[in-house]
């Protein structure tokens, strides 16, 4: 087998995650929102980021808008591309975590295998899965982007919840139903879960 002579590992000379966390005075963690389109994932993620920012904590949100317009702009919506989309997101998230940054991801990520892959890449101990369990009927009623109407007409193929399945997480760290909970209530539940993990003693 030919050796990769151009690769020179430098990890032993780089500053470690703990060095970055000490500088930022926080522990990094991955908060991974999963749920149907229109369930409220991005809305909650943005509100959570603002609350953590107010507390002097550095965060980074990853969602479809900033990922598919950049690093994943060459991917479509085939099954293989969806897996690769999540794989790249997980790898980028791991880099943020290793830099001490609290990372918040909001992606449909519709099945347990794809979320398990992300958790394995990021590290199970750092991965907090938050299931935004808002019912399909409510998500479709909101239809924020007009996607459900197009999916019902057959204009969008393999649309999660309509023509493609969504698997509920088996053991999420937290479940939030935005048809029942207000945005403030959802964020408060998240803060109860996250703050003990990210605040430096």
Predicted confidence (pLDDT) per residue in 111-142, tens digit: 999 999 999 999 999 999 999 999 999 999 99
**First CA to last CA across the chain, in angstroms?**
49
**HSE-up (13 A, CA, CB side) for residue 31:** 29
Return the percentage of the chain with pLDDT > 90, whole number. 69
Answer whether 0.85 is exceeded by the pTM: yes
Count of domains for the chain: 1
At residue 12, the pLDDT reads: 62
**What whole-number distance in Å separates Cα of residue 162 and Cα of residue 183?**
26
> Out of 93, 109, 133, 186, which one is annotated catalytic?
109
- Asked if 173 and 128 count as a contact pair (C-beta separation under 8 A), the reply is yes
At residue 6, the pLDDT reads: 62
- Asked if 33 and 178 count as a contact pair (C-beta separation under 8 A), the reply is no
Does 9 fall in a domain? Answer: no
136 marked as part of a ligand binding site:
no
Does 162 fall in a domain? Answer: yes
Does 17 fall in a domain? Answer: no
41 marked as part of a ligand binding site:
yes
Which pLDDT band holds residue 47 (cuts at 50, 70, 90)?
very high
Mean of pLDDT over the chain:
90
Does 50 fall in a domain? Answer: yes
**What whole-number distance in Å separates Cα of residue 184 and Cα of residue 17?**
32
Q: Does residue 14 carry a pLDDT above 70? A: yes
Does 1 fall in a domain? Answer: no
Domain that holds residue 53: 25-193
Does 199 fall in a domain? Answer: no
The CATH number assigned to the domain holding 121 equals 3.40.50.300
Which pLDDT band holds residue 28 (cuts at 50, 70, 90)?
very high
> Does 109 participate in catalysis according to the annotation?
yes
54 marked as part of a ligand binding site:
no
Does 201 fall in a domain? Answer: no
39 marked as part of a ligand binding site:
yes
- Higher pLDDT: 11 or 168? It is 168
Does 198 fall in a domain? Answer: no
Rg (CA), the chain: 18
């Amino acid at each position: 087998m030919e050796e990769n002579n151009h690769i020179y590992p430098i990890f032993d000379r780089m500053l470690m995650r703990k060095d970055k966390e000490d500088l930022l005075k926080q522990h990094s963690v991955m908060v991974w929102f999963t749920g149907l389109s229109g369930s409220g994932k991005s809305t909650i993620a943005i509100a959570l980021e603002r609350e953590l920012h107010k507390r002097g904590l550095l965060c980074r949100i990853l969602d479809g808008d900033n990922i598919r317009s950049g690093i994943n702009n060459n991917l479509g919506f085939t099954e293989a591309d969806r897996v690769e989309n999540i794989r790249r997101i997980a790898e980028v998230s791991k880099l943020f975590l290793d830099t001490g940054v609290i990372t918040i991801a909001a992606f449909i990520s519709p099945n347990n295998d794809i979320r398990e892959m992300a958790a394995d890449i990021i590290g199970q101990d750092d991965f907090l899965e938050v299931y935004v369990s808002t019912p399909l009927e409510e998500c479709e009623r909101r239809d924020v982007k007009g996607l459900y109407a197009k999916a019902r007409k057959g204009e969008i193929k393999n649309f999660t919840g309509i023509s493609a399945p969504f698997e509920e997480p088996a053991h999420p760290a937290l479940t939030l139903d935005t048809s029942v909970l207000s945005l403030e209530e959802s964020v408060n539940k998240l803060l109860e879960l996250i703050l003990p993990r990210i605040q430096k003693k």
